[in-house]
Amino acid sequence: MIDFSSPSATLEHMRAVAHYRRAMVIGTTGFSAVQLNELKSLAQQIPCVFSPNMSVGINLICKVIGEMARTLGDEYDIEVIEAHHRLKKDAPSGTALKIAEVLARSVSRDLDQVGVYARKGLIGERTKTEIGIQTIRAGDIVGDHTILFGGMGERIEVTHRASSRDTFALGALRAARWVVRQPPGLYDMMDVLNLR
C-alpha cells in the first residue's frame, strides 16, 4: 500500500496492512509523537518505507548536505527555506524538518535546541549554532527547498525544486518495488536508494 493521506488515516491504513502482513510506503507528514510511536511499533510487523519526501533528488541532497555541513563546520550559518502551495496544512514541511535534522546531526547539534522557525523584531545577533527553518506558502508551488550555508565572503546554496508531483509518485513506486523484498522493519528513502 502507498499512502500519502493524513496521520490518522495513515495509521488506520497501516493497522489493516499489518493485519494482512503486507508492505507499505508512507509519504504522509505531520505525525504527533504519539502517532510516530504507533507507526514505529506497527513497522516491526511489516516492511515499511516512511519518508517525508519520495523524490530521488531531495534524498540525494540529504546525503550531500550532511557532508557539506560537516566540512563547513561552525564558521558557516545554516538556513533552510521551504516553499509550498497555499493549501499545504503543515509548516514547516516534513521535508524541511528532515533536512534540518540531517544538518543538525551532521554538526552534532540537537535541532530541538537550535532550530529557529521565525524571526521578528529586535532579536539580537544570530548565534553560531542556530539552524533557521523558514516557511513560505503561496500559489501552487509544488515544493521548493533551499539549504543555505552562509560564510564570511561566500554563500553556498543547494536548491531542489519539484515542478510536478509526478516526482513523488515515481519515488513512491520505486520504494514500493524495493520494500516488498525486505523483511519487516522501518526503512526510509536512503535505504531504498542505497545511500547509507
Catalytic residue among 13, 19, 63, 88: 88
- What is the pTM for the complete model shown? 0.86
* DSSP percent split of the chain into helix, strand, coil, nearest 5: 40, 25, 35
For helices 7-19 and 33-42, give the axis angle rounded to 10 degrees: 20
Q: CA torsion angle for 53, 139, 9, 60 (degrees, to 10)?
A: 0
Tell me, yes or no, if 19 is annotated catalytic.
Answer: no
Please say if the pLDDT value at position 189 is more than 90.
yes
Q: Which amino acid is at 40?
A: K
All cell numbers assigned to 115: 532550530
In order of their start, the domains of the chain are 2-50+165-192 (3.40.50.720), 56-162 (3.30.360.10)
pLDDT single digits (tens) 86-122:
999 889 998 999 999 999 999 999 999 999 998 999 9
Helix (H) or strand (E) holding 14: helix 7-19
Tell me, yes or no, if 84 is annotated catalytic.
Answer: yes
Q: What is the DSSP string of 144-168?
A: EEEEEEEETTEEEEEEEEE--THHH
Q: What is the 3-state secondary structure (H, E, C) of 77-95?
A: EEEEEEEECCCCCCCCCHH
Mean pLDDT of 6-35: 96
Catalytic residue among 13, 19, 84, 89: 84
Please say if the pLDDT value at position 71 is more than 90.
yes
